[in-house]
């Protein structure tokens, strides 16, 4: 064994023990990275691999082994692999560590007769709400015994979980395989009676008549993840937390920010003539690289966009990406938003990497139009003569993430750091889009109507810079779940052939998403069990539960390839959720159910209720502020179905008022202070109202009182810390409303 391999082995061992410690201590920055075992076919020679940024003499990673062109293949056996295509025996997986650790704790807790949540010292018992359902916790029993008992009961009674796959579109193949592995029941043509799970290929609205069960799309996700909206949401967070959100390249929204863009560029160049930045222009509705081009000067944009001035994002181009085999590549990571209330995020331990097919050179006027050099999209590169379809996960133009991380680890890269940076990027991005998603959610699923709950798999596209810093390129609300690819089997004859790499990764992601959403195994998550749970990071024994579950099911399913990162790392990221608190206020004052915009009267009511006007900021100034901001935003919103002030405009108004009131503070503290004030005002008002109403309507049931008082939002009827923590308990229901969507579907 070479020195080199010894080093790698030591690193993997360290990662293992690190994973154990991190799990025990809840350390967020030290995640178990998804590393595969050394691929048998790959003999990385340290001398031929150089990490750019570590060795200045070479800016690329070069593998001696050339890229082999491989034709289509047969399906590989998978019995002894885990869901993400890794041999379980190769690497001590996180899940095993978690199970053992958590199991031990649970047993001990069981003997204590009460459940003490680490770090809170709270005692939990009785009925608790989970995603809208009430469950009973047995405080006096050993938790695991209770679960096992429950599991047996369920197994006896259980009917298979039903899945409506009639709208699954291109994810159908992977979905079918997943359902089969789980021994669930598929309804490919839909079903008259309700199904447990509805799998949609595009949007929440693919099927308009769902009143129960779970749908694999959130309303509004497509809109929120369009390039402009995502850029706006991240920019708001960059204004508040510039350092935390430095993973997203500087972006301008076209055409409205064209002037800003060209002025800033001119100033940059005037300050330093040697600076020669490149920009990438991405049409708002585009996907798969469609309509994307590079420019070096704002004036190129004018020429290229012309008078039509299409909506687009122009973004700083990352000129020095990390290279492997001299090629640029990006990472496709699958992320499950399991629930928005409470926020629950899972990351797939395995992902894909997509490689360019022409060796990379820094952008120059000559190579700007070389798409195979600059754009990593599979849909583009597959048409290059250099594209390599490979059966192997660690060669070819599409590889597993773990095989790439292994290559990097082999060269001594601290991949634990890379992985934890990626996790942080994902959590922060989801936190950025959740506020507006909540507005969409309450519009489509208003309180009082029966409706489904939602979850969604997102596709994060991430680029590693030469210095190994991950950069967010975009988030796809409909990541391609195809497990086959088009291939030229004879000259001019194309046919779909199975793609082993896609199958390994995507079937694992879908199957394990389904396992997590299994309605017969809904369990209270720790964040539900714990009032004020946002304040405390906590380990949730999902993997242990699932393994138990597999035995109940009599199956031999591998351990989950999805890893919970939120609420697990709540402690580290919760402070970023300021805009979400603003969104909760916004929703509180929307008034008419189903609205997404605040009218002038509602805005005034908000100002009055929260006591934000005074002699320096009169109601007349409030009206002017409303008109001013709303007019500006209505011009820039592509989706202006309703008149009034949308969330983004409201956030701007909120920032403005916070700035006026708390001049000496930095923006995030200004906003935090104003939020505290508003929430305290609402709370005290609700207290008064509650007392008043209690005296005149003692006999009214609580639900009716709540409605009478306009307190549909329980956030505002609870003590401040709990209220903030428990936006998760805010239950939203459905209003079925057809939408015309320009969907970004990667299929
Ligand atoms: P699309 O939705 O059309 O795929 P992306 O934003 O993913 O749009 O961009 C397409 C490709 O362009 C990415 O996969 C990546 O290779 C490249 N790219 C995008 N943004 C940048 C950037 N800021 N710097 C460098 N490369 C980028």
CA-closest residue to ligand 1 atom 27: 317
Share of the chain above pLDDT 70, in %: 64
Strand partners, 614: 617
Condensed to tens digits (0 to 9), the pLDDT of residues 528-537 reads 333 333 233 3
What is the structure's pLDDT at 151? 55
3-class secondary structure per residue, 60-91: CECCCCCCCCCCCCCCCCCCCECCCCCEHHHC
Helices (H), 90-135: 94-111
Judge if the beta carbon of residue 371 lies within 6 A of ligand 1: no
Kindly give, in sequence order, each residue whose CB lies less than 8 Å from that of residue 692, ignoring residues fewer than 6 positions away.
Answer: none
Between 21 and 353, the more confident residue is 353
Residue 532 region by backbone torsions, left for phi larger than 0, else alpha for psi between -120 and 50, else beta? left
What is the structure's pLDDT at 389? 86
DSSP structural state of residue 733: -
Q: How far is the CA of 301 from the centre of ligand 1 (A)?
A: 17
Could you count the other beta carbons within 10 Å of the beta carbon of residue 222? 24
Judge if the beta carbon of residue 289 lies within 6 A of ligand 1: yes
Judge if the beta carbon of residue 315 lies within 6 A of ligand 1: yes
CA-closest residue to ligand 1 atom 20: 473
Kindly give, in sequence order, each residue whose CB lies less than 8 Å from that of residue 273, ignoring residues fewer than 6 positions away.
Answer: none
Which atom of ligand 1 has the smallest separation from the CA of 328?
16
Judge if the beta carbon of residue 251 lies within 6 A of ligand 1: no
Q: Are 116 and 109 in contact (CB under 8 A)?
A: yes
Judge if the beta carbon of residue 330 lies within 6 A of ligand 1: yes
Judge if the beta carbon of residue 724 lies within 6 A of ligand 1: no
CA-closest residue to ligand 1 atom 19: 473
Average pLDDT over residues 69-76: 34
Helix (H/G/I), strand (E/B), else coil: 154: helix
Judge if the beta carbon of residue 151 lies within 6 A of ligand 1: no
Judge if the beta carbon of residue 648 lies within 6 A of ligand 1: no
Residue 462: half-sphere exposure toward Cβ, Cα within 13 Å: 26
Condensed to tens digits (0 to 9), the pLDDT of residues 602-647 reads 999 999 999 999 999 999 999 999 999 999 898 665 555 568 999 9
Judge if the beta carbon of residue 287 lies within 6 A of ligand 1: yes
Q: Are 449 and 714 in contact (CB under 8 A)?
A: no
Between 230 and 108, the more confident residue is 230
Q: Are 629 and 653 in contact (CB under 8 A)?
A: yes
pLDDT of 126 over the 60 cut: no
pLDDT of 733 over the 70 cut: no
Pairing type for strands 133-137 and 352-355 reads unpaired
CA-closest residue to ligand 1 atom 14: 376
Rounded Cα–Cα distance for residues 705 and 709 (Å): 6
Which atom of ligand 1 has the smallest separation from the CA of 474?
6
What is the structure's pLDDT at 98? 28
Rounded Cα–Cα distance for residues 575 and 245 (Å): 13
Highest mean pLDDT of the ranges 15-19, 135-139, 449-453, 698-702: 449-453
Q: Are 441 and 731 in contact (CB under 8 A)?
A: no
State the Cα angle at 491 between 488 and 497, rounded to 5°. Answer: 20
What is the structure's pLDDT at 29? 42
What is the structure's pLDDT at 689? 66
The single residue listed with the structure tokens 């009674």 is 157
Judge if the beta carbon of residue 97 lies within 6 A of ligand 1: no
Q: pTM for this one?
A: 0.75
What is the structure's pLDDT at 577? 98
Kindly give, in sequence order, each residue whose CB lies less than 8 Å from that of residue 664, ignoring residues fewer than 6 positions away.
Answer: none
Average pLDDT over residues 142-167: 69
pLDDT of 736 over the 60 cut: no
CA-closest residue to ligand 1 atom 10: 289
| Total number of residues shown for the chain | 747
Mutation pick for ligand 1 pocket among 247, 279, 289 (CB with most ligand atoms within 8 Å) = 289
What is the structure's pLDDT at 488? 76
Judge if the beta carbon of residue 216 lies within 6 A of ligand 1: no
Between 303 and 179, the more confident residue is 179
What is the structure's pLDDT at 148? 52
Average pLDDT over residues 475-480: 96
Kindly give, in sequence order, each residue whose CB lies less than 8 Å from that of residue 271, ignoring residues fewer than 6 positions away.
Answer: none
Mutation pick for ligand 1 pocket among 280, 319, 327 (CB with most ligand atoms within 8 Å) = 280
Which atom of ligand 1 has the smallest separation from the CA of 283?
3
Q: How far is the CA of 375 from the centre of ligand 1 (A)?
A: 6
Which atom of ligand 1 has the smallest separation from the CA of 315?
23
Judge if the beta carbon of residue 537 lies within 6 A of ligand 1: no
CA-closest residue to ligand 1 atom 22: 317
Q: How far is the CA of 462 from the centre of ligand 1 (A)?
A: 9
What is the structure's pLDDT at 119? 28
Fold observed for domain 167-248+328-353+391-519+558-572: D-amino Acid Aminotransferase; Chain A, domain 1 (3.30.470)
Average pLDDT over residues 292-312: 76
The single residue listed with the structure tokens 């944009």 is 301
pLDDT tier at 115 (50, 70, 90 boundaries)? very low
Q: How far is the CA of 473 from the centre of ligand 1 (A)?
A: 6
Element (DSSP H or E) covering residue 328: strand 327-340
pLDDT of 572 over the 60 cut: yes
Between 142 and 286, the more confident residue is 286
Peptide bond preceding 710 in cis form (omega within 30 of 0)? no
Which atom of ligand 1 has the smallest separation from the CA of 227?
6
Rounded Cα–Cα distance for residues 496 and 521 (Å): 37
Residue 111 in tokens: 């003997």
Strand partners, 399: 353
Judge if the beta carbon of residue 711 lies within 6 A of ligand 1: no
**Closest CA relative to residue 445, chosen from 580, 566, 596, 338:** 596
Rounded Cα–Cα distance for residues 337 and 538 (Å): 18
| Domain-wise residue ranges, the chain | 167-248+328-353+391-519+558-572, 577-684
Q: How far is the CA of 332 from the centre of ligand 1 (A)?
A: 12
Judge if the beta carbon of residue 282 lies within 6 A of ligand 1: yes
Q: How far is the CA of 298 from the centre of ligand 1 (A)?
A: 19
**What spatial distance separates the first Cα and last Cα of the chain, rounded to whole Å?**
44
Which atom of ligand 1 has the smallest separation from the CA of 461?
7
Q: How far is the CA of 299 from the centre of ligand 1 (A)?
A: 21
pLDDT tier at 720 (50, 70, 90 boundaries)? very low
Spell out the CATH class of 577-684: mainly alpha
Residue 212 in tokens: 């129960």
Rounded Cα–Cα distance for residues 97 and 99 (Å): 6
DSSP structural state of residue 655: H
CA-closest residue to ligand 1 atom 9: 289
pLDDT of 581 over the 50 cut: yes
Helices (H), 475-541: 500-517, 526-529
Q: What are phi and psi of 260, to 5 degrees?
A: -55, -45
The single residue listed with the structure tokens 């990497």 is 353
Residue 589 in tokens: 């004052």
Rounded Cα–Cα distance for residues 207 and 196 (Å): 14
pLDDT tier at 302 (50, 70, 90 boundaries)? low
The single residue listed with the structure tokens 């979980």 is 161
The lowest-confidence range among 8-22, 111-125, 345-359 is 111-125
3-class secondary structure per residue, 575-610: HHCHHHHHHHHHHHHCCCCCCCCECHHHHHHHHHHC
pLDDT tier at 578 (50, 70, 90 boundaries)? very high
The lowest-confidence range among 443-447, 500-504, 512-516 is 443-447
Could you count the other beta carbons within 10 Å of the beta carbon of residue 367? 14
């Amino acid at each position: 064994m070479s020195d080199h391999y010894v080093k790698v082995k030591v690193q993997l061992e360290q990662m293992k023990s690190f994973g154990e410690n991190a799990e025990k201590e809840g350390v967020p920055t030290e995640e178990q990275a998804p590393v595969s075992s050394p691929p048998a076919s790959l003999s990385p020679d340290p001398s031929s691999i150089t990490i750019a940024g570590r060795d200045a003499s070479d800016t690329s990673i070069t593998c001696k082994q050339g890229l082999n062109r491989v034709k289509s293949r047969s399906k590989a056996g998978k019995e002894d692999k885990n869901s993400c295509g890794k041999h379980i025996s190769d690497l001590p997986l996180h899940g095993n560590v978690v199970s053992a650790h958590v199991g031990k704790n649970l047993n001990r807790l069981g003997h204590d007769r009460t459940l003490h949540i680490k770090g809170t010292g709270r005692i939990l018992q009785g009925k608790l709400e989970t995603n809208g359902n009430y469950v009973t916790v047995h405080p006096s029993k050993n938790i695991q015994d209770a679960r096992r008992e429950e599991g047996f009961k369920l197994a006896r009674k259980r009917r298979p979980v039903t899945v409506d796959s009639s709208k699954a579109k291109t994810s159908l193949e992977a979905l079918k395989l997943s359902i089969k592995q789980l021994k669930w029941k598929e309804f490919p043509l839909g079903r008259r009676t309700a199904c447990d799970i509805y799998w949609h290929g595009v949007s929440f609205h693919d099927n308009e008549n769902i009143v129960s069960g779970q749908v694999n799309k959130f309303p509004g996700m497509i809109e929120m993840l369009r390039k402009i909206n995502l850029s706006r949401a991240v920019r708001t967070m960059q204004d508040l937390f510039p350092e935390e959100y430095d993973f997203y390249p500087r972006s301008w929204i076209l055409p409205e920010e064209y002037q800003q863009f060209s002025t800033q560029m001119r100033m940059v160049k005037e300050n330093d003539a040697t600076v020669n930045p490149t920009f990438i222009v991405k049409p708002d509705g585009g996907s798969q690289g469609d309509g994307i081009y590079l420019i070096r000067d704002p004036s190129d944009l004018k020429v290229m966009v012309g008078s039509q001035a299409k909506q687009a994002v122009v973004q700083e181009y990352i000129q020095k990406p990390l290279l492997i085999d001299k090629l640029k590549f990006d990472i496709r990571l699958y992320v499950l938003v399991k629930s928005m209330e409470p926020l629950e995020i899972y990351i797939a331990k395995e992902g894909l990497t997509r490689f360019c097919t022409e060796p990379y050179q820094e952008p120059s006027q000559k190579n700007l139009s070389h798409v195979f050099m600059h754009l990593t999209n599979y849909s583009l590169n597959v048409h290059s003569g250099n594209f390599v379809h490979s059966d192997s996960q660690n060669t070819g133009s599409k590889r597993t993430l773990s095989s790439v991380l292994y290559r990097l680890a082999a060269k001594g890269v601290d991949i634990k750091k890379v992985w934890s940076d990626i996790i942080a990027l994902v959590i922060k991005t989801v936190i950025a889009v959740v506020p507006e998603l909540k507005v969409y959610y309450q519009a489509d699923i208003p309180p009082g109507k029966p409706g489904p709950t939602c979850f969604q798999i997102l596709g994060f596209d991430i680029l590693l810079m030469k210095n190994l810093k991950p950069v967010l390129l975009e988030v796809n609300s409909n990541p391609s779940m195809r497990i086959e690819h088009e291939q030229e089997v004879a000259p001019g004859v194309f046919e779909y052939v199975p793609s082993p790499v896609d199958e390994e990764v995507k079937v694992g992601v879908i199957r394990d998403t389904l396992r997590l959403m299994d309605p017969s195994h809904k369990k209270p998550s720790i964040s539900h069990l714990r009032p004020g749970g946002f304040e405390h990071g906590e380990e949730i024994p999902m993997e242990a539960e699932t393994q138990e579950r597999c035995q109940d099911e009599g199956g031999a399913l591998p351990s989950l390839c999805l890893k919970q990162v939120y609420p697990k790392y709540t402690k580290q990221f919760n402070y970023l959720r300021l805009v979400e608190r603003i969104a909760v206020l916004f929703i509180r004052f929307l008034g008419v159910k189903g609205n997404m915009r605040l009218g002038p009267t509602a805005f005034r009511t908000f100002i009055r209720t929260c006591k934000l006007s005074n002699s320096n900021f009169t109601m007349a100034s409030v009206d002017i502020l409303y008109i001013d901001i709303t007019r500006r935003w209505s011009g820039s919103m592509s989706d202006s179905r309703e008149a009034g002030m949308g969330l983004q405009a409201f956030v701007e108004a909120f920032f403005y008022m916070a700035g006026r009131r708390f001049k000496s503070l930095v923006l995030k503290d200004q906003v935090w202070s104003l939020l505290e004030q508003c929430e305290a005002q609402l709370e005290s008002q609700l207290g008064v109202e509650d007392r008043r109403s209690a005296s005149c309507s003692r006999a009214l049931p609580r639900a009716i009182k709540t409605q009478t008082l306009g307190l549909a939002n329980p956030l505002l009827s609870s003590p401040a810390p709990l209220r903030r923590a428990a936006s998760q308990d805010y239950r939203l229901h459905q209003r079925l409303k057809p939408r015309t969507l320009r969907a970004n579907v990667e299929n």
